[in-house]
Amino acid sequence: MFTNGGGSMKLSLSNMEWKLMNRLWDDAPLTLMELTRALEPETGWSKHTVITMLGRLEAKGAVRWEQAGRARRYSPAVSRDEARREETASFLDRVYGGRLGLMMSALADDHALTREDIDELSAILRRAGEGK
């Protein structure tokens, strides 16, 4: 969670908001026009769509801006890792009642894990066990 003003809130981003945030994480700070030009080839969004998205993200506390002459320069107010953690926790809570084991069981039952995935998860679990 991150704090925006006085209260804390959970960050939940739509697919469209992730596209915009990824661009900011990669290239911030960006003006509205720079952001629109950068997103247009992939999304087809107009300047007005980007303005709407920035307003939503600012209200969520995910984006901040500073005045630079006549233009605002937008930057992320939350790190990509923070957003990923929030999104992962939210997904696990919504879909699996917060239980990671249930998700892993579903992936294993569906044969969705590659040998590489299993090796990576085993290494993660070993590291987690060493800390206990």
**pLDDT tens digits, residue range 17-48?**
999 999 999 999 999 999 999 999 999 999 99
Residue range 43-72, pLDDT digits in tens = 999 999 999 999 999 999 999 999 999 999
pLDDT score at 7: 37
The answer on 119 and 73 residing in a single domain is: no
Q: Same domain for 70 and 120?
A: no
Could you tell me if 20 and 50 are in contact, meaning their C-beta atoms sit under 8 angstroms apart? yes
Residue 40 belongs to a domain: yes
Q: What is the mean pLDDT of residues 69-94?
A: 93
- Domain of 54 in residue numbering reads as 2-80
Q: Are residues 56 and 119 in the same domain?
A: no
Contacts of 23 (CB under 8 A, 6+ apart): 30, 35, 38, 39
As for how many domains the chain has, the answer is 2
pLDDT for residue 40: 96
- Give the DSSP letter of residue 116: H
**66, 113: one domain:** no
Smallest CA-to-CA distance from 12 within 62, 55, 48 is with: 62
Assess whether 13 and 72 both reside in one domain. yes
24 in a structural domain: yes
